[in-house]
Amino acid sequence: MLRPNDRRATPAEYKADGKDYAATDRRILFGHHFAAIAGAGALAGPVLAAQMGFLPGTLWIIVGVVAAGAVQDYLVMFFSMRRGGRSLGQMARDELGVIGGTAALVATIVIMVIIVAILALVVVNALAESPWGVFSVSMTIPIALFMGCYLRFIRPGKVTEVSIIGFILLMLAIIGGGWVSHSEWGAAFFHLDKVTIAWGIIIYGFIAAILPVWLLLAPRDYLSTFMKVGVIVMLALAIIVVRPEIKVPAFSEFAGRDNGSVFTGSIFPFLFVTIACGALSGFHALISSGTTPKLSEKERQTRFIGYGGMLMEAFVAIMALVAALSIDRGIYFAMNSSVAATGGTIEGAVAFVNSLGLSGVNLTPDMLAQTAQNVGEQSIVSRTGGAPTLAVGLAQIMHQFVGGQAFMSFWYHFAIMFEALFILTAVDAGTRVSRFMLQDAFGNFIPKLKDTSWRPGAWLTTAIMVAAWGAVLLMGVTDPLGGINTLFPLFGIPNQLLAAIALAVCLVIVARAGRWKYLWIVALPLAFAAVVTITASYQKIFSSVPGVGYFAQNAAFSKALADGKTSFGTAKSVPAMEAVVRNSMIQGVLSVIFVVLSIIVIAVAIWVTLRIARSGKISNFEDPETPSRIFAPAGLFVSKAEKDIQAQWDALPEAERPVRAGH
C-alpha cells in the first residue's frame, strides 16, 4: 500500500537544517520515537483496566495494537515524511479542505495541550517528595547533552560507543540517586513539593523544545529507552521465572456494571478509553507527524520505527497489566479507590473493599499495613492513578527474582522513579511537536512561521504552548480530587478522538492514491475508534451519574454549595468545592468541543472519500521526489547485502560519495 523507496530522499536529507531536520541513526531514532510515544497510558491504563478482569484488557491490547494502533502510527509517519514532515493538523487541512482541516487543526492543538499537561501531572505525582527520583531523572539531562555533543563533535557515527558510555552513566545516576536520597544534604535539596516540580517541568519543556533536536531531545529519549526496554524485559524474565499467580478472574464483577470503584462506566466504551496508549493512541499520531519524520534517514526504516515501536509499547502494556493482576484484589481496590470511598484510612479501606462483594476477597488491616511496610511507605490506601499500583506489583514480582524480601522497598521506589523517567520523555517530545503544530497552524496566516528554522517563531510558539499546558498542569496539581482522577478520563477520550481524526486523514490519503483495495485497513479501525469515542463522549457529557458525567458532577457540587455545605465528597472546604465546580465545567465544555470537532473531521473525511471514489481521480500532496545521496540500512539490524553496498559506497571516489553513509 505504501511502497517505500529508499532511493528517494527524506525530509531529514533535503530539508536538513541541523536543528529540527537532521538525518539520525535508525537506532537512536527508534529509541527517540519509542521513548516519545511510551507514556503514562501504557503504564497506568492497563493497571486501571484490571478492574474489569484480565481477559478484556489483554484481548484489546493484542488485537488493538495489531489492527489499529501500529497501523495508525506507521501510516501517519510515512505520510508525514512524504509531505516534508508536515504535522497531522496541516495534513488534514491539505487533504480535507478548509472546514475539515480547520476543525482538525483546532482539535489537535487543544487536545495536545491537555495530553501533555496530564503526562506532566503523572511525572509530578511520581517525583513529588522523592529525592531519589528527582536526582536520577534530573541527571539524565546533562548525560544526554554529553551524548549529543559526543556523537556530533567528538566521535561522529560511533553510536555503539556512546550507547555504552550513556548506559554506564545512567546506571550511576540511578545508583547515586539512592545514595543521595539517604544523605542529609541530598534529602533536603532534592525533596521537592508538587508545585516546585511542576514549574521545573514547565521550564524544562520550553528549553527541550527550542534546542537542536540532536543536542538534548533525541539523545535523552534514546538514553531513556535503555531504561524503559531494560526494565520491561527484566520484568518479563521475572514473570517467566517467578510465575506469579493471577489474582483476578477473566471477567470481574464490574465487567457487567457501570459503578466501578477504580473508574466508573461500563466495559464498553470505557475499557478501551482507559487502556488508551497500550493499544491505540492519538498522541502517537502527533509524534509520528512531528519529530520522527523529520529525522528518518530512509523511507523503509519507518516500518520498524512506527509499527515496531507501537508493538513494543503494547508489550509494555501487557507487562503492566500482569503486574497489576498479580496483586491481591483487596489491596488493588484499596489502592485505587478514592479517598471519598475509603476515608484515606486502613480501617475505612478494609470496610469499603469488603463491602464490594468481590469473590475471594477478605481484606484485613494487617494486609495493608504489611504491604505498606514492605515497600517503605506509611500508607498505600487510595494511592490512585495506576502508577503506585504498578510499582507495588513490580516490586512483588522483582523481589522474588532479585534480592529477596529486603529488596522489595528498593524495587518499589525504583519503579516510581522508572515511571517518572518513562513518562517525562513524552512530555518533552510532546512540547516540541506542539510547537510544530502551532507553527503549521499560524503559518497559514503568517507564512514565515512555517519555517521551523526561524528562531523567533520557534520561541514564540513554544512559549504559547508551554504556557497553555503549564496552566492546565498547575490546575491538576492543586485539584482537590487528586488531579489525575479528574484529568485522566479527559486524557483518555480526547486521545482516542485524536486517533479517529488521524485515521480519518489517512483514509482520505489512501483514497486519493487510488489504493482502494487497501482502504479497509484504515476504515475498520477508524469505524471502531469513532464508535467507541463518540459513545464515551456522549456518556461523559449527558450521564446523570456525578461519577461519570462532568455536568452531573458540576450540578451536584453546585447544589451542595447552594445548600450551604462546607464539604462535599472529596472536597473538604468551600474553596475546594468551588474548584470542583470550575474544573468540571471546563472539562465538560472541552468534551463537547472535542467530540463536535472530531465528528466534523470524520464526516468531512467520509464525504471527501466518496467524492474521490465518484471522480476516480488520483492525486497527492507529497513533496516533489528528490534523489537521495544517503545510504543507510532499512532495518534495525544490518543485512549482508547492506554491508556489501556499504563497501561499494566506501570504494567510490570522495567527490562521488554520498553526503553520509554508515551503519
Give kind and range of the element (H or E) at residue 197. Answer: helix 194-210
Query: Residue 69 falls within a domain, yes or no?
Result: yes
- State which amino acid sits at residue 592: V
Whether the predicted pLDDT of 158 surpasses 90: no
Grouping H, G, I as helix, E, B as strand and the rest as coil, residue 296 is strand
Give residues with Cβ within 8 angstroms of 274, minimum separation 6: 45, 48, 49, 263, 492
Distance in angstroms between the alpha carbons of the first and the last residue of the chain:
27
Q: Please give the C-alpha separations between residue 647 and each of 9, 42, 416, 656, 663, in angstroms, as whole numbers.
A: 21, 41, 47, 14, 11
Mean pLDDT (the chain) is 89
Which pLDDT value is given to residue 413?
A: 81
Output helix, strand, coil percentages for the chain, rounded to the nearest 5.
Answer: 75, 0, 25
pLDDT of residue 661: 44
Residue 2 CB neighbours (<10 A): 17
Instruction: Answer whether 261's CB lies under 8 Å from 337's CB.
Output: yes
Whose grid coordinates read 540532536? 214
In the chain, pLDDT over 70 holds for what percent of residues? 97
Q: Tell me how far apart the alpha carbons of residues 239 and 258 are, in angstroms, rounded to a whole number.
A: 32
Query: How far is it, in rounded angstroms, from Cα 470 to Cα 643?
Result: 48
Residue indicated by cell numbers 526494565 = 231
Residues of the chain above pLDDT 90, percent: 52
Secondary structure E strands in 57-201: none
Q: What is the mean pLDDT of residues 75-103?
A: 95
pLDDT band of residue 662 (cuts 50, 70, 90) is very low
Cell of 579: 474548584
pLDDT in tens, 258-280: 888 888 888 999 999 999 889 99
Cα angle: 334, vertex 340, 342; to 5 degrees? 30
Residue 143, in any domain of the structure: no
Last residue of a domain, one of 440, 462, 479: 479
Crossing angle of the two packed helices 519-542 and 574-615, in degrees rounded to 10: 150
Q: Report pLDDT digits (tens) over 525-573.
A: 999 999 999 999 999 999 998 878 899 989 999 999 999 998 887 677 7
Q: What pLDDT does residue 163 have? A: 85
> Are 36 and 287 a contacting pair, CB within 8 Å?
yes
Confidence of residue 257 (pLDDT cuts 50, 70, 90): confident
- Determine phi and psi for 8, rounding to 5 degrees: -95, 130
394: containing domain: 26-129+192-479
Band of pLDDT at residue 115, cut at 50, 70 and 90 = confident
Closest residue by Cα to residue 228 from 45, 398, 413, 422: 422
What pTM was estimated for this model as a whole?
0.89
The domain tally of the chain equals 2
Torsion of CA 27, 29, 32, 36, to 10 degrees: -130
Q: Which residue has the higher pLDDT, 499 or 124?
A: 499
In the beta sheet, which residues pair with residue 568? 571
CA 246/CA 487 separation, integer angstroms: 30
Identify the residue whose cell numbers are 532479585. Answer: 402
Q: Is residue 576 part of a domain?
A: no
Of 487, 622, 564, 651, nearest to 94 by C-alpha is 622
Smallest Cα–Cα separation from 118: which of 44, 171, 196, 53? Answer: 44
Instruction: Identify the band that residue 663 occupies on the pLDDT scale cut at 50, 70 and 90.
Output: very low
pLDDT given for residue 187 in this prediction = 85
On whether residue 589 sits in a domain, the answer given is no
User: 260: domain CATH number?
Assistant: 1.10.4160
Predicted confidence (pLDDT) per residue in 363-400, tens digit: 999 999 999 999 888 889 988 878 889 999 999 999 99
Q: What's the pLDDT band for 638 if we cut at 50, 70, 90? A: confident
Is the C-alpha dihedral spanning 577, 581, 583, 587 positive or negative?
Answer: positive
CA separation for the pair 564, 593 (Å, rounded): 32
Rounded to whole angstroms, the Cα distance separating 53 from 251 reads: 4
Q: Which residues contact 600 (CB under 8 A, 6 or more apart)?
A: 99, 100, 103
Give the residue-averaged pLDDT of 8-12: 96
Domain stop point among 479, 505, 532: 479
Residue 476 has pLDDT above 80, yes or no: no
Q: Answer whether residue 169 is part of any domain.
A: no
622 φ/ψ angles, rounded to the nearest 5 degrees: -75, 155
For residue 44, being part of any structural domain is answered with yes
Mean pLDDT throughout 342-362? 91
3-state SS assignment for residue 390: helix
Residue given cell 489483554 in the structure block: 58
- Asked which of 479, 498, 524 is the last residue of a domain, the reply is 479
Residue 576 above 50 pLDDT? Answer: yes
- What is the C-alpha to C-alpha distance for residues 226 and 137, in angstroms, rounded to an integer? 14
Quick one: which of 249, 245, 269 has its CA closest to 64?
Answer: 269
Residue 210 lies in a domain: yes
Is 376 among the domain residues? Answer: yes
